[in-house]
Structures are given as C-alpha cells and as structure tokens.
Structure 1
Amino acid sequence: MVFKLTLATVALAALVGAANYRRVSCPDGINTATNEACCAFFALRDDLQTNLFENECSEDVHESLRLTFHDGVSFSKSGNFSGGGADGSILLFADIETNFSENLGTEDGTDALAPFLTRHLVTAGDLIQFAAAIGLTNCPGAPRLQFLVGRPNATAAAEDGAIPGPADSVDTILARFADAGFTSDEVVRLLASHSIARSDTIVPNHQAVPFDSTPFNFDTQFFLEVLLRGTAVPFNRTEPNISGGEIDSPLAAEGEMRLQSDFALARDSRTACEWQSMVDDQTLMMENFRTSMMKLSNVGQDISKLIDCSELIPEPLPATKPNATFPAGTNSSELQLTCASPFPSLATDPGQATQIPECPDGDLNLADCPS
C-alpha cells in the first residue's frame, strides 16, 4: 500500500513538473517561451542587437546600463523623494529627468531607446532593464543577468536630487543608496559597471573618456587601477574638473579619467575591503554584480507580480582578461590601500605605458571612427 502510494506521488510530481516546464508557442510562429509574456522580447532582442548594439560592447551598452541606475535609484524608502524606482520614468519623462544635474548625459541613452519603445509592445521599465541585460552580453567577462517582465509604466517623473553624483562625499552616497534600499557592499558591487564606463560630460570637449585601461571588457582591472596613486588629469589639462567629480588619474597620459567618488569609496574604511576583495577575482566580481543588479532592476517593484523571462538573455562572451595586471609603467608601490586584508600578487604588463584606443575625435566606439 505504501509502495503504491509512493509510486502515485512520484507520478504526480512528474506530471506537475512537466506542466511547469510546458512551453507556449509565440505569435511569431518561430519561438517558444515558458510564459507568453516573454514572447514580445524575442523580436526586441534581435532589434536591439542589430540596430543599437551591433553585437559590440560599445558606448550604447554603457548608456543602456547607466539608465538602469538613474532610473532605479530614484526610489526612496523614507519618502524623501517621490521616484518609483525601476519603472521607466527616465524614458517616459526624458524631457524632465535628463535635465536633472546628475542625469546630464543620459539623454544619449533615452534617445537611443525611444524608437524601440514605439516599435515593441513592452513597458519602459522592462525595456530599460532588458536593453542593459542584452547589451552586457556583448562585453567579455560580464555576468548573465536576471530579467523579469511586468513593470508597470511610470505615471510621473522622478524627483530631482535623488541620484548621488561623483562629487558627493562617501557619507552622502552611502546615505542616498541606503534610502533606496542598498547596503554599502552593494554600492561597491554595482560599481563593477564602471569597468565599461565612460564620461561624456565631465571632461570638456572629449567624448567617451574611459574609467580604466580595458574599456571594452567587464573585468577586475577597474578595481585595481582605482587603487593606484593619481598623477595627473588626461589630455594635458592642468586641473581636474572638481565640480564634475574628477580627480587625478594614474593613467592620465593614456587618456584615462577617474571619478572622485570611485577614488573615495576605494579608500573609505566602510567600503575599502569590499572593493579590494574583487581585485583579481573575476568570478566574485561577476556574481556580486549579478546579484546586486537583480536588486537594482526590481527596486520599487512587487516582484511577486513579475514574470521571469531570463531565458531570453544569452550567455555573455567569456572574459578575455580574467586576471588583473599592473598597467605597464606602474607597480605595487603605487597602491593606496586602506583595507588590511592581504593584497593579491599581480603581474605587470610588459612594454610601454598602456595606450587607450580612441578615434581622432575622442570617441571610444572604434567601430564608428571616421575613415
């Protein structure tokens, strides 16, 4: 009797499992999905890769990833700010939000995504998160992000002042993130995005100035280079743009700029060890960023009402530089360490000082260089 009951239980479990994994046919007649809500994103994925990212880890990937931050961190647990979090308000109310002081430059991302919002039946919040997840797959070493569907469209713009800036103190940055629901460790983990970041506004008359010497790779090099002693600012300028949050760079001669906030977070006693832990640990950095981005992409949302469509996110390109190295011309004597944990032993790149590639007009998107 017990034996028959056990068999029946196993059979029932198998049927339930089969039902849970049953796929639906999408209206395009080509694709299938675990949920019909995922179907609209197949065409969107192809459209983004072909007509925006062009299957490259480009400036457009950075701009799309940046929107997830500027959209999501507008949320406030205390009610000090009225933003709804990851709801797409920066795209729906771009004429308002891109004019906020700390959102300057985000109009490149909103302008790029706006046509996709009109071509596809998706919400603005879903589009922002999906574009970032898809774009990041073109960057060697990036993690595969979760993607949930069902964010309602924002009904009002976020409030100015909710986004911390690179000129802010560590106290201010951590307090604003805490109000949005993030720990100090999660702040540092999200900054792995700066491994593929650029600045379009801080350095005058230059576009897409990189934050590290491997601007097209999602790797730990960024966490190393921020710990190096600064020497100057790029492009033969005499002073950093303090109002824009710039500080001396260790690789100024090679065209690399550094944010004051990155410099400070890497050396603050509350965040230095978390920062240092990701130097030369690609796996840890990827996992830390993946889990922190899960939180950022859903901030302000009722996750129980969202549908998991992560199956649409391809596996990213493997890391081409899994180990951090001291850039040519630098060494361990230039490290400025606050955390007492042992620092990894790293090799040094051979040859001349690292040269960061760029077009003659200063654009880091080499595929678009004028001939």
Structure 2
Amino acid sequence: MKFTTSALSAMLSASAMAYPGMGGDASAFHKRMAEVSTKEKRDLPPSLDSATSQVAQDIKDCLSTATSCEASDTAKTYVAPALGSKECAADQCCIWDYVTSDLVAIFKDCDGQCTEAARQSIRLGFHDAGAWSLASGFGGADGSMLISGNEKDRVENNGLQEIIATLQTMWGKYKGNGVGAADLMQHAAVVATVVCPLGPRTRAFVGRKDGDGSSPNGLLPDVHSDADTLIKLFEDKTISAFDLAALVGAHSTSEQDVVDANFAGAPQDSTPGVWDVAFYSETPDQNASSAIFKFPSDQALAADPRTKPSFDFFGKNVNGQAAWNDDFARAYVRLSLLGVPNIDDLVECTKVLPSQIGSFVIAPNSCKAGNNTSSVSSSAPSSATSGAPYASSNTTGIYSHPASSAKTTSYVTKYTTSTKTTTKTHIITNKGSVTKSYEALTTTTVCPIVPSRVLTYEPTETITKSVPKGFFAGPNGESYVFKPVITPGPSYSLTYASCKPKTVYTTVTVY
C-alpha cells in the first residue's frame, strides 16, 4: 500500500537535472531525443502528410516538437451554450462539452482518483486507433470497436466489453447531435487521461469519419512480445521507439484482468488511480512490490537500449512527470489520427477538456463506504459495509440469505505464505431434518499489508440461485462474489489499496 504526494506544478518549475551519462541538462536532452525521434519516424500517416488545413498544420507542428501537443492552458475556462440552442449548434465543440461532463462523471472516483472506466477508456482508444499499419490500408481510429458487431469479442479486446457497452449507450444519446463513434472513443481516452490526477491535458480533435466494418487483425501488441517485435510493430504505424516508450506508460493506471485470471485486478504499478511515473521506476525494479503485475513486454522495453533511457528518465528524474506528459501527449495525438482519411476536416476542441490536476494526495478517509469499489470502511463484516441485503453474519464473513430459514454455522482454516493464502471454509447447514456440510478450498492473492492492518473478505451480493463455475455455493444454492475489506480495528477507514485481493475457488465439496 502506498500513500503518495505528487506535485506536477513543482516538477514543471523545478530546476533541470543532468541526465545520467548525457551532457547538458535534462530538458535539453529530452528535446534532442524528441528531435531524433521525429527524424527516425520517417513518415507521417499518409493522410496527415498530405493535409493542408490550419488544424492539420497545427498537428504537424506539435508532432514535430515545434509546438506542444499538450493544451496551452492547464485550466478549463470554456462555458458551453445551452444544449439545443442556436449558439451551441454554431459551435462544433459545444456538444463535446456535454459529452465530456458525462465522461467525467464515470471517470472520476469519489476520492479524486480515476476509475476502472477511465482505465478501460484509455485502453479502448489505443485498441481502436492502433489496429492500423502503413500496409493495412484500413482500420485505425474509425470507431469500429463501437460499430462492429464482433470486434469486441476478439481475444485481444477481452476486458473492454463493459466500457464498449457504456460508450455505445453514450453514443446513442449524442449521435443525433453529430457525435461520431470514432471521435467518442478518442475523446474518451483523452478525457480519461486528464481526469486521472497528474495526467496531461492532451489536445483534442474531432471530425473523424466512422468506419463501416471491423479493423484488421494482428496489429495490436502482445503482452508477451519481446522489445524488437514491439518496436517493429509500432514503426509500421509511424510510431518510433521513443514514442512507444511514452505510450506504454499508460499502464501507470492499468489493472490487468485477463492476462492471468488468478491475479485479476492486479495493477501495473503501486498507484493505479494516479497518472504518475511510478510505472517507469517499478517495472525494472526487482524489489518492487509483489502485488504489481508486470507484463513481460513492459519489462522487455524497460531493458532494451532503445527504450530504457526513457524509462530511466521518466522514473528517476525530478523532471520526469512533466517530460512524460509532454511525450505522451505527442505520441497519443499521432496514434489517435492513424487511419483518419479526412484530417483537413478536423476541428480542435481542447477547450472542453477538464482542468489538469497538477498535484494530488492519495489520502485515507476521503470516500464513504459503498461509493466505489476502491474504498472500504469497516470494523467487521456487516450488511452495511457490503451494500447487500444480508440478514445476518458471523465473524467469518459468511452470510445467510434473508429468504433462508436455515441455521448456518461455519468455521475457517487458513494457511498463509508470502504470496498466497489458502483457506478451507467449512459450512454446516441445518434446514428441517437435512444437514449438509460444504467445504471450499480457496487460494487468494496476498496484497501488501501495512503493519497493524489486516485483510479479510466478505460477500458483496447474492448474484444467482445457480452455481456458476468459480464461485462458492452457499448453503441454499446461493453463489457469492467477494470483495476486500480492511479491518484493523473499530471504525477505521481506508480508501486505497495497491492491489485488489482476488479469491479463486479450486474445489467445492458437498457431503
């Protein structure tokens, strides 16, 4: 568990530090690396290379480092006219202010950190735009992830189905006002990034044409790929190793759910609700918390000489946060325009983005129990903290359903190692003349435990009368999902944990 204070404003004003092994100060080194990167790219996406509008020139300038791809202002000052008014209809960005408000509502958690929906939107924007290459001829940021009926079911898109459904609903709400699927996904990714504390206010453009089919297969990276494979894959998207190192930092706010189901919910750094540079220092650190789930591809990039300097710089220098934000914004603008055929039709709508959060403290007691899944408040498991309609509980956290007239007793035996907790739960139920006993052998990932704080578990809701695979069956056929509860003592509240314990049920025995 990690409580962090980060101040982007301090980083922006801090004196430059010499980069290890390089002459000059950090800002000079970073600018030189960006210039080298621009030369290495060789190509702009073809549609951008041939575009001639003022917006197209602004984009070319920011990609060439002549200007920044971050907003010139860190604070939002734009106030949209009333929705449906002539003034709103005359401003192409007006409707996007209303879309942005809806997005912020699902991206900002009650403790100020960014939510699972924000994390998923960042990944979704990448998956929609990244399915493109110089040779593909189609795909890219075309909205196919929302439009196509089957693209969401591809293996590489596992875990995105929920946010796709959410954005499809939002698209249905606003498409009558000219909001396209392609723009919605890219705008959602940019909004999510700035809603995450310390994240950049990346310049936002709308006006993309929606596609009419699925994107090409095989153009997204694999978490098991080596650095050379990844770098070549992205070079074919006109994205250099330098920009790839900046883009992969989005894993700062990532939690994996599908790479290894046994560790579902495990973060890629210790602060997944904050857009900080912990990912860059913790990925190569062999002594980093075991609760952090490191992708082999990220570790490969952290070690490769073409991308390691960026990991070192972002993760180890006082300028690292500001430098990463600048580089990420530039790389993401490029990514978000891959495959877009009508660059000259785009309009910049950066003014509707939320203000940047330049400093942030992950603090306890900032959320009330039940407001979100990242916060808990409990002195013992109870129906009040679980948010579920349970009639009774016992000290083991096993609940009986209110519809049941059964008398239930239970006890738990537990064995804990440094990485796993194996628990056997024994439940004895007496209902009428029938006595049944259930045993569930469980293996639970162990999160870092702050001294004097204890991790325990409680059911959150009865989800079905059937017994789906992977869930523990209760005395009357109920099945339960579990959530982490931290209970070091009476009335203690905690709003942040560096990982989410997950319970995997390997056997359920009835006798």
Q: Same fold (TM over 0.5)?
A: yes
Residue of structure 2 in register with 1:292 after alignment:
331
> Within 2, Cα distance between the matches of 1:321 and 1:219?
12
Matched, 1:98 2:152: yes
Residue of structure 1 in register with 2:232 after alignment:
175
Task: Could you tell me which runs of 5 or more consecutive residues in structure 2 were left unpaired when the two chains were aligned.
Answer: 1-77, 363-448, 459-481, 486-494, 501-511
> Within 1, Cα distance between the matches of 2:150 and 2:114?
29
Residue of structure 2 in register with 1:9 after alignment:
none
SS of corresponding position for 1:227: coil
Which letter does structure 1 place at the counterpart of 2:247?
Answer: L
Residue of structure 1 in register with 2:304 after alignment:
268
TM-superposed deviation, 1:90 = 1.1
Which letter does structure 1 place at the counterpart of 2:359?
Answer: A
> Within 1, Cα distance between the matches of 2:261 and 2:126?
23
Residue of structure 2 in register with 1:338 after alignment:
none
Which letter does structure 2 place at the counterpart of 1:137?
Answer: V
Task: State the TM-score, normalizing by the size of structure 1.
Answer: 0.71
Residue of structure 1 in register with 2:92 after alignment:
37
Which letter does structure 2 place at the counterpart of 1:226?
Answer: T
Matched, 1:210 2:287: no
Matched, 1:89 2:144: yes
Which letter does structure 2 place at the counterpart of 1:272?
Answer: K
> Within 1, Cα distance between the matches of 2:86 and 2:192?
21
Which letter does structure 1 place at the counterpart of 2:308?
Answer: A
Q: Rate the CA distance shift 1:141–1:24 in 2: closer, same or farther, 3 A.
A: closer
Which letter does structure 2 place at the counterpart of 1:141?
Answer: L
SS of corresponding position for 1:120: helix
Q: Rate the CA distance shift 1:112–1:352 in 2: closer, same or farther, 3 A.
A: same
Which stretch shifts more, 182-191 or 46-55?
46-55
SS of corresponding position for 2:83: coil
More strand by share: 2
SS of corresponding position for 2:360: coil
For the 8 Å contact 1:213–1:256, the answer to whether it is kept is yes
For the 8 Å contact 2:195–2:354, the answer to whether it is kept is no
Which letter does structure 2 place at the counterpart of 1:43?
Answer: Y
Residue of structure 2 in register with 1:4 after alignment:
none
The Cα offsets for residues 27-63 of structure 1, whole Å up to 9 and x where unpaired, read as 6267967962212212212222235655750110000
For residues 34-183 of structure 1, what are the structure 2 equivalents within 5 Å? 36-51=91-106, 53=108, 56-79=113-136, 83-93=138-148, 95-121=149-175, 122-183=179-240
For the 8 Å contact 1:129–1:297, the answer to whether it is kept is yes
Which letter does structure 1 place at the counterpart of 2:254?
Answer: A
Q: CA RMSD in A?
A: 3.1
Which letter does structure 1 place at the counterpart of 2:289?
Answer: L
TM-superposed deviation, 1:290 = 1.1
Aligned identity (percent) is 26
TM-superposed deviation, 1:25 = 7.9
The Cα offsets for residues 103-143 of structure 1, whole Å up to 9 and x where unpaired, read as 22121221221110100121111111111222223211100
> Within 2, Cα distance between the matches of 1:287 and 1:70?
21
> Within 2, Cα distance between the matches of 1:213 and 1:30?
46
The Cα offsets for residues 299-334 of structure 1, whole Å up to 9 and x where unpaired, read as 222322200011000212123379xxxxxxxxxxxx
Residue of structure 2 in register with 1:258 after alignment:
294
> Within 1, Cα distance between the matches of 2:143 and 2:201?
21
SS of corresponding position for 2:357: coil
For the 8 Å contact 2:128–2:142, the answer to whether it is kept is yes
TM-superposed deviation, 1:98 = 2.1
More helix by share: 1
The Cα offsets for residues 234-286 of structure 1, whole Å up to 9 and x where unpaired, read as xxxxxxxxxxxxxxxx311xx22110011000001121112212114111011
Task: State the TM-score, normalizing by the size of structure 2.
Answer: 0.52
SS of corresponding position for 2:236: helix
Residue of structure 2 in register with 1:304 after alignment:
344
> Within 2, Cα distance between the matches of 1:224 and 1:54?
25
